[in-house]
Amino acid sequence: AYLTLCNAKDPWPLKATSDINKILSSDADYPFVKDYQAFAVMAVSCYENQTKLLNKAEHNSLKMNYESVIKLFKETQLLDGSFGNLHTTSLITQALISSGQEYEKNWKLNATIHYLLEQLASPHDIVGSSLTLPVLNAKSLADISKVNCTLNPRKNGYDNHASVMNDYTGPKMRVRYSLFLGDEKDVIHTIFLRVPENYTAYEVMKQAETEDAKYTFKNKKISDMMYVYQIGE
């Protein structure tokens, strides 16, 4: 969940650090623990890229557990290059890539890639494929946060408003913008947006318009006042 929040560029709740520390410091001998720890490492790597949280004194324990798990991952690599089964190997490799370990000499990335390719050539499930593909592209699930998903694919080129929003690094807030159609609210369209905290209602409408054509509107300025006289295509 915390990796998903980071990829969406949403702030973590106050309990996030405590939750992640519990996962990273776990010594439970269950096969799935390594998978959870790999997701936790990717979540921290993602958030570190955005906020540099590991440089803050209050996160010393998180930094220690994060680095300890990364070290443990590399020490548990098997002779065939794997870290267990296909799923676990893919997740741990993604975790190591997300934390900048792909060029380190104390583990064998090439052996891991060879193992993954062999596994993909054998019968496997779709989850195995989806977890392995990022590794084969030298990526991880933490890289989703670097993808601009705000652009409207129906428009040619980049929308100027969307580009400006993507470059904005100040504080943002989440806004729910709804259109109610019909006297009895027969149809309701709702979109959730993250916009600068000082955005006006008009600017929210402009942002919604770039996201979805349903929110296209027409306006006219009369005597220094902006009037919206049509909403929707």
pLDDT per residue as tens digits for the range 13-26 = 888 899 999 999 99
Report the alpha-carbon distance of residue 84 to residue 36 in Å, rounded.
14
Does this model's pTM top 0.75? My answer is no
Given a cut of 70, whether residue 154 has pLDDT beyond it is no
Give the confidence band of 156 by pLDDT, cuts at 50, 70, 90: very low
Q: Are 210 and 191 within 8 A, CB to CB?
A: no
Given a cut of 60, whether residue 163 has pLDDT beyond it is no
Residue 89 lies in a domain: yes
Q: Are 142 and 6 within 8 A, CB to CB?
A: yes
My answer on whether 9 and 121 are in the same domain is: yes
Q: Are 93 and 39 within 8 A, CB to CB?
A: no
My answer on whether 25 and 116 are in the same domain is: yes
- Would you list which residues are annotated within the binding site? 35, 85, 227-228
My answer on whether 180 and 142 are in the same domain is: no
Taking residues 127-151, report their average pLDDT: 81
Given a cut of 70, whether residue 188 has pLDDT beyond it is yes
Residue 197 lies in a domain: yes
My answer on whether 113 and 222 are in the same domain is: no
Structural domain including 198 reads 172-231
Residue 162 lies in a domain: no
- Would you list which residues are annotated within the binding site for cyanocob(III)alamin? 35, 85, 227-228
Task: Give pLDDT, residue 221.
Answer: 73
Write the pLDDT tens digit of every residue in 25-42: 998 888 899 999 999 999
Given a cut of 70, whether residue 155 has pLDDT beyond it is no
Q: Are 40 and 20 within 8 A, CB to CB?
A: yes
Residue 164 lies in a domain: no
My answer on whether 142 and 179 are in the same domain is: no
Tokens read off for 185: 């609210």
Residue 161 lies in a domain: no
My answer on whether 69 and 113 are in the same domain is: yes
My answer on whether 110 and 215 are in the same domain is: no
Residue 103 lies in a domain: yes
Q: What is the 3-state secondary structure (H, E, C) of 204-223?
A: HHHHHHHHCHHHCEEEEEEC
Which CATH number characterizes residue 57's domain?
1.50.10.20
How many distinct structural domains can be found in the chain?
A: 2
Residue 117 lies in a domain: yes
Cβ-based neighbours of 37, under 8 Å, separated by 6 or more: 23, 24, 26, 69, 73, 95
Task: Give pLDDT, residue 70.
Answer: 96
Residue 151 lies in a domain: no
Taking residues 52-80, report their average pLDDT: 91
My answer on whether 141 and 36 are in the same domain is: yes
My answer on whether 212 and 105 are in the same domain is: no
My answer on whether 112 and 223 are in the same domain is: no
Taking residues 40-55, report their average pLDDT: 89
